[in-house]
Amino acid sequence: MQRVNLSTVSEFVFVGLSDAPEIRLLLFVLFLLVYLATMAGNITLLVAISTDSHLHSPMYFFLSNLALLDLLCPTITVPKMLGALLLENREISFAACLSQHFSLIAVVGTEIFLLGVMAYDRYVAVCHPLRYPSIVSAKLCARLALGTWAVGLLNSLLHTSLVFTLSFCGPNKIQQYYCDIPPMLALSCSSTRSRELVLLVVAGVLGSSACVVTVVSYIYILLEILSRSSPGIWHKAFSTCGSHLTVVCLFYGTTICTYVRPSFTYSPHRDRVVSMLYGMLTPLLNPIIYSLRNKEVKCALRRVISRVRTAL
C-alpha cells in the first residue's frame, strides 16, 4: 500500500485580532490584565480551599477542580495570542496546533461534565441534607472527579484524531486566535461531511447528557423548595445553588453556540467573540461569582490574606 501524506501543511498562521499597531498594543494590555486577574483569582481560590479546613467538603472539592480548569483554559490559548499581538508571531507548527487543540478540547469537555457533577452535588445537598455526607462521600467525589477528567480526555482524543487526520494542503490561515475545530475544518482540502456528522453527534450526546443531569437536578431542587413552607427556604436554596447556576448558564451557552452546530453556520468574527466569552471571561468570572456569593469562601479568603500579611 502506498503511504498517504495526511498533511502537506507544516505550520498554520493565526489571523490577528487587529492589524493596527495602536489597537494591537491596547488589546495586548487589556488581555494581559484579564489573564493575570484570572490567574490571581483562581490561584487564590485554590489556596483558600486547600489551606482552610472549613472548605474541606465535596462542594469545595469540585470547586477546586473547576478553578484548576479555569487556570488551564486561558493558559492554553492566551500566551500565544499575546505573542501575536505584541511580536506579530502568528505562526504555529502543525504539532503545536494539534497539542493546543487537544488540550483545549480536553479542558472544555471536562468542565462541561464537572458542572453536571456539581449540579448533582447541589441536588443531594438540598433534597437529602441529612444523608448528604453518606451519599456524597470522599470516595464518590474522587471517582466523579476522575471520571470527568477521563471522559474529557477521551472526548478530546476522538475530536483531535478526527480533525487532524484530515488533509491540509491549501490555505493555512486559521480564522481564530487558537486552533479550534470549526476553523480547522474550514481549512481542510478533503471532504469533512462524515467527520462533521460524527463530531456533531458526539458533542451533542455528551453535551446534552451533562445538560440533562444539570436541568433534572435543578428541577428536583425547585420541586423540593416548592414542597417546603419553612421561612427563608428560597434564600437558603439560592445561596446554595445561585453561584453554580450562574456559571452553568454562562459556560453552557457559549460552548454550545461554538461546537454544537453545523459548520455552514460558522462565522469567524462571531466565533472569536463567543470563544473569548468561555475562554477568557468565564474563567475570570468564576472565582468572582463564587467568592462574592459565598460567605464561607469570603471568610476563607480573609483568613488567607491575613496569614499572608502576618508572614510578610
What's residue 3's pLDDT? 43
CA separation, residue 164 to residues 95, 143, 152, 175, 245 (Å): 10, 31, 18, 17, 35
For a pLDDT cut of 70, what percent of the chain falls above it? 82
Q: What is the pLDDT of residues 19-53, one digit of tens each?
A: 666 788 888 898 999 999 999 989 988 988 888 88
The answer to whether residue 3 sits within a structural domain is no
- Count of domains forming the chain: 1
The answer to whether residue 164 sits within a structural domain is yes
The answer to whether residue 60 sits within a structural domain is yes
Q: What is the pLDDT of residues 59-87, one digit of tens each?
A: 889 999 999 999 999 999 999 888 888 87
What's residue 68's pLDDT? 94
Q: How confident is the model at residue 149 (pLDDT cuts 50, 70, 90)?
A: very high
Q: How confident is the model at residue 240 (pLDDT cuts 50, 70, 90)?
A: low
The answer to whether residue 32 sits within a structural domain is yes
Q: How confident is the model at residue 4 (pLDDT cuts 50, 70, 90)?
A: very low
Return the higher-pLDDT residue of 227 and 214: 214
The answer to whether residue 1 sits within a structural domain is no
The answer to whether residue 161 sits within a structural domain is yes
The answer to whether residue 260 sits within a structural domain is yes
CATH at residue 292: 1.20.1070.10
What's residue 254's pLDDT? 67
The answer to whether residue 4 sits within a structural domain is no
What's residue 64's pLDDT? 92
* Most confident region among 92-96, 184-188, 237-241 by mean pLDDT: 92-96
- In this predicted structure, the answer to whether residue 102 has a pLDDT above a threshold of 90 is yes
Range of the domain at 231: 11-311
Instruction: Show Cβ contacts of residue 297 under 8 Å, excluding neighbours closer than 6 positions.
Output: 45, 48, 55, 60, 290, 291
Return the higher-pLDDT residue of 264 and 126: 126
